Amino acid sequence: MADPTTTPGWAQIGYLVAAVCFILALRGLAAPRTSRIGNLVGAAGAVLAVALTFAAVRPAHLLPILVAIALGAAVGAVAARRVVMTAMPQLVALFNGVGGASAALVALLELGGFADAGVGVRIAVAFTVLVGAVSFAGSLVTFGKLQDWVPGRPIVVPHTRLVYGGVLGATLAAAVTTVVLGSVVFGIVLAVLSLGVGVLLVLPVGGADVPIVVSLLNAFTGLSVAASGYLLGNALLLVAGTLVGAAGTLLTRLMAQAMGRSVTTILFGGLAGPSTQGATEESSRPVKSAGAGDIAVMLGYARRVVLIPGYGLAVAQAQHALRELAEALAARDVEVVYAIHPVAGRMPGHMNVLLAEADVPYDQLVEMADVNPEFRATDVALVVGANDVVNPSAREPFGSPIAGMPILNADEAKAVVFLKRSMRPGFAGIENPLLHDPKTTVLFGDAKESLTRLVAALRAV
């Protein structure tokens, strides 16, 4: 372990400045208007922290470290620039898993470097290895599910309770042995078993619950980083890890509440309860469909229209076309707002960022709690690529994977229009009865193409 008393005073002051940057970054990321500057402040804090560490510690193997940093920066920069908005949750999951793996490896190296380490250090090592490895393996599985490399449905291995219980028991035994003996060999065994726990933990999760698990694993990574900060005697790592752990935990709770379920149900429901994902077949029930011209007339003569974007909007990259439709409606003195569900898309804030890319004014983005009372006074609710967040089945106490999830009350509008590519269900894999309501009209086609046709038809009305 490094001794914090050997860190120069100027470096400790610099670490304090970096920690304040991290706190200010979180504060900035809490609102769309300040999120960009918050991200830059956080990045500046990270650069400052790395530079101070090099200046204060002056590592012996400087060249290999610099090469590793350069390679990592190159991979990260290319990945971040090439990723599309629809794949952002996958990127978050992957980066999060790498962070957990790094913390676990650092802990194992610390254990190998200090044969006479005290019990406190060994406990921190075991905790870091266990949590970091679980986060790494679990994040890889969530990445696979979101990327469709692994089936999105819950996957339950045969005799799952016995297998899961056995692996978990062996992992805890390896953790205790690592603490008692301080053995690197048992530390490696602990890491391997923890990888198994991470896989078994996430495989039974499916449907719309996967992004919530991404957030939970992010909190795990934060805790493992905080523990590695204790091992290294680095107060900045301790602060940064604690911030990530606390933020991830709060975000997980908020997302779970937005889905109307508990974290325990999400993690273990697939082991001993109903599936978190329903069927995936297309519905064969008839729906009322119309062309762009008819729907343009409906929208053009409305007084108030609520636009409800979802993941399908992101997939079609139709945010700019949606903004053009809103502007065309506003030119006809139609009141237009965007209704934003907390978990619209795949992550909280997904829709906010997507619409910000299209320069949609922030004051037109209305959260669920504020917009729901206004649906009864809405002439048309236009649903673009969303399904689960407007599904009335969520109001049923039982029998639905999304039962209890708060939804946007689109069914209370005088008319509902769905823009859908097909009749396939949403991410949760269940049918939406609102599609078959007499006041609902469906415009089939790619969201971007449908919106473009609507804008042209509206201008011709």
The one-letter amino acid code at 56 reads A
User: Which residue in 294, 363, 370, 388 is the catalytic one?
Assistant: 388
Q: How far apart are CA 272 and CA 262, in angstroms?
A: 14
**Strand runs labelled E in 15-127:** none
Residue 335, SS3?
strand
CA-nearest of 425, 420, 386 to 288 is: 420
Q: In 3-state terms, what secondary structure has residue 336? A: strand
Q: Does residue 430 sit in helix, strand or coil?
A: coil
Residues 6+ away with beta carbon under 8 Å from 34: 27, 28
Dist CA 210 CA 146 (whole Å) = 8
Q: How many CB atoms sit inside 10 A of residue 282's CB?
A: 11
Q: Give yes or no: 116 in active site.
A: no
Judge whether 15 and 235 are in contact, CB under 8 Å.
yes
3-state SS class at 313: helix
Give the rounded distance of the alpha carbon of 397 from its chain centre.
26
Which residues are known catalytic residues? 388
